[in-house]
Structure 1
Amino acid sequence: MALAFDFINGFHDTANAIATSISTKALPPRIAIVLASFMNLAGALTFTGVAQTIGGKIANPVKLENGMIIVMAALIAAILWNLITWYMGIPSSSSHALIGSLTGAVITAAGLRAVNFTGFLSILEGLVLSPLAAFATGLLVMLLIRLVFRNAAPHKLNRRFRLLQVFTAAFQAFSHGTNDAQKTMGIITFALVAGGFQSTLHVPLWVKLLAALSMGLGTSVGGWKIIRTVGTRIIKLDPGSGVSADMASAMVILGFTLLKLPVSTTHVISSSIMGVGTARRFSAVRWGTAQTIVTAWLLTLPVSALLAGLSYLFLSLCSRI
């Protein structure tokens, strides 16, 4: 179930990492997807701090009864929400879905006291602050590029930025792998501890490899509906804007990874694009699309928690039959 979630996460979230390079025609879609798949795989194998945060900061798996049912319920809910928003073409957050689902399942199974609210709130702070940081970084990077290249010929500049965007898209996909694949590693490690298969939150090598490969395979499928939303429906991107958005989001994602905090890569990338558009002119941003993304951002945690609670009740009933 965790690997299925990771596969869906690959084509749901990683679409964001390559949307800008496809929109500006810096990379053909198939090459962009292959590049993103390999860079996600590399990023996923590099860090484990976020996995340990997911595995231990929301609840203590050692103290939970029915820990395996809790994990199953959380994954069912997160997968359902991801598929619903993917079908609608809304770039919602797989991170929010997984964290909301795990919290909802734990509360339903063991009550509010079972949730480590100090750890949960620290995760929530990262999820809230990262889009703001991405918006500000995108705005600053775009302003800096406009200042440095204000006298350059647009045709030559676009050609050079398209070439540069191959590298910034790769960097963004790598940073995505450092954060998103670790969430699945964390939930598998949580299940291993809850099931008594290991006593610490150390992430085994086989877990890293399976999570990284699942996300890489999911990325290779591609999420075209979300690519269209992120790549064309927030702002009209040119190569300079694409480079700015890629750099801003990659730096923010990697920064939070180093802090061992999960972020919504979806909302980081979308926010960096909004910041880039605002730097060009406020009216360049299609704020109706932005409002839809923010609405999904607000709904994901409570809806996924509710879905997880219902899933837990259903699985518990099935286990008694």
Structure 2
Amino acid sequence: MPDVLIITVVVLALAFDYINGFHDTANAIATSVSTRALTPRFAVWMAAVLNFLGAMYSTGVAKTIGGDLVKSAQMVNEPIIIAAMIGAIFWNLLTWWMGIPSSSSHALVGGVIGAVLVAKGVEALKMAGILKIVAALVGSPLVAMLTGLLIMSILFWIFGNKSPGRVNPKFKRLQILTAAMMAFSHGSNDAQKAMGIIT
């Protein structure tokens, strides 16, 4: 029976990563495709390769997801992981189907916390680790917004007087770079979440 549970955990983790891929990865290339900076085929290949390379880059996110939510790894068994993964997968599919923007990270962290809370109680949770993750989940949109505001202000200051015909080709090429960076960072962040659950 334990082998069946372990196989189920791995299959669900891979399913979560796959669903996370079609749920979130398109965000990295959507603007580059819509502005025709990249062809759809090239954009998908670029996103796939860079997501894979990002996943192989480091294991920091996997270690955080795997070790910072509960006090001891021995407290987490296969049924808890299965419940957490099913909850995260269900939420990702529901929000995708309804067209509601949502975070796979929030879904997975919430699934793990909820499953551990029911199975082992609040004393099994590592509050310092949870607060660290929650701070990142809440703070990242704010940091991104402020960074975007700063960069856009600088760009308007530098290029505000230039004609669109002169600057658009340059910005189109820069979109390829930003799409590549987004795809790589998605792989280095999101793909590792399933690794953290499996390990």
User: What TM-score does the superposition give when structure 2 sets the normalisation length?
Assistant: 0.91
Contact 2:69/2:125 (<8 A) preserved: yes
SS in 1 for 2:135: helix
Report the Cα distance in structure 1 between the residues aligned to 2:171 and 2:80, rounded to whole angstroms: 47
Mapping for residues 280-319 of structure 1, pairs under 5 Å: none
Deviations 1:135-171 (A, max 9, x none): 0001111111111112322112111111121111111
Q: CA deviation at 1:21?
A: 1.2
1:74 is aligned to 2:84: yes
Aligned to 1:17: 28
Aligned to 2:124: 114
SS in 2 for 1:91: coil
Residue type of the alignment partner of 1:124: V
Aligned to 1:58: 69
Q: CA deviation at 1:30?
A: 2.2
Report the Cα distance in structure 2 between the residues aligned to 1:174 and 1:6, rounded to whole angstroms: 15
Q: CA deviation at 1:60?
A: 3.6
Q: CA deviation at 1:20?
A: 1.8
Aligned to 1:43: 54
Mapping for residues 1-321 of structure 1, pairs under 5 Å: 1-64=12-75, 67-189=77-199
Residue type of the alignment partner of 1:177: G
SS in 2 for 1:92: coil
Report the Cα distance in structure 2 between the residues aligned to 1:45 and 1:183, rounded to whole angstroms: 12
Contact 2:32/2:38 (<8 A) preserved: yes
Q: Runs (4+) of structure 1 moved beyond 4 Å?
A: none
Contact 1:13/1:91 (<8 A) preserved: no
Residue type of the alignment partner of 1:21: S
Report the Cα distance in structure 2 between the residues aligned to 1:126 and 1:42, rounded to whole angstroms: 23
Q: CA deviation at 1:115?
A: 0.7
Length, aligned pairs only: 188
Report the Cα distance in structure 2 between the residues aligned to 1:12 and 1:88, rounded to whole angstroms: 12
Q: CA deviation at 1:33?
A: 1.3
Moved more, 23-32 or 96-105: 23-32
Deviations 1:20-39 (A, max 9, x none): 21232211222211111111
SS in 2 for 1:45: helix
Residue type of the alignment partner of 1:81: W
SS in 1 for 2:177: helix
State the identity as a percent: 56
Q: CA deviation at 1:61?
A: 4.5
Contact 1:51/1:185 (<8 A) preserved: yes
Report the Cα distance in structure 2 between the residues aligned to 1:186 and 1:124, rounded to whole angstroms: 17
CA RMSD, aligned part only?
1.2
SS in 1 for 2:25: helix
Q: CA deviation at 1:47?
A: 1.1
Query: What runs of 5+ residues in structure 1 fail to find an aligned partner?
Result: 190-321
Moved more, 19-28 or 133-142: 19-28
User: What TM-score does the superposition give when structure 1 sets the normalisation length?
Assistant: 0.57
